[in-house]
A and B are shown apart, each in its own frame.
Chain A
Amino acid sequence: GQSLEQPSEVTAVEGAIVQINCTYQTSGFYGLSWYQQHDGGAPTFLSYNALDGLEETGRFSSFLSRSDSYGYLLLQELQMKDSASYFCAVANQAGTALIFGKGTTLSVSS
């Protein structure tokens, strides 16, 4: 089956850089996704890595190492609005649904 591990909480201050790690164990691997969810809101898609390396989208970057079964989400120039839960996710073995990690709650303070 698929399983993912990520830290439960991360705290940082405005303007800082934070890295949220995710390790996974899968039977079959297609890629690693990241989602953001604000309190009371819906998960929203941030990024997807199918190949090794770093993908950059504005202040957010996502990295994947398939050989290490490891990825991370890097958030730069943190803002208060980045306070949210961040989930990594992989597809199930058949590729027909996403399996989510338990989420990392990021708290950004001023």
Chain B
Amino acid sequence: DTAVSQTPKYLVTQMGNDKSIKCEQNLGHDTMYWYKQDSKKFLKIMFSYNNKELIINETVPNRFSPKSPDKAHLNLHINSLELGDSAVYFCASSQVLEADEQYFGPGTRLTVT
């Protein structure tokens, strides 16, 4: 059983399109996150949700909209995709909000052409 899963694994799309990435965790964790990892491997927090409530919204363009329908799911919708959005997006979860041990999904490699 995969602890944190993401779909799709690869996403290739054109500028201006809208796309979604889905994430699910079966660990029973309260907190879920979205991270962006750029081509230089810099891993940056985008959003965190605790019990479906948005806790952190880092300096992310409002074209990015997370949605948590329940504690086990955190989706990321991106509108009007830009070239600079090309990156690997990781979903992660932790047992509680303050936990330093986070479990990462396999990542979604987004390429915007």
Chain A residues with CB under 8 Å of chain B are 30-31, 33, 37, 41-45, 48, 85, 87, 89, 91-92, 94-100, 102-103, 105
Contacts and interface: CB of A to CB of B under 8 A. Distances in A.
B58, B100, B105, B107 pick with most chain A CB within 10 angstroms: B100
Given A42-B90, A43-B90, A103-B41, A89 B100 contact: yes
A44 B45 contact: no
A98 B43 CA distance: 10
Counting contact residues on chain B (CB < 8 A from A), the size range is 20 to 34
A87, A91, A98, A102 pick with most chain B CB within 10 angstroms: A98
Given A43-B43, A43-B90, A102-B40, A30 B98 contact: yes
Interface string B50-69: 10000110100000000000
B100 A33 contact: yes
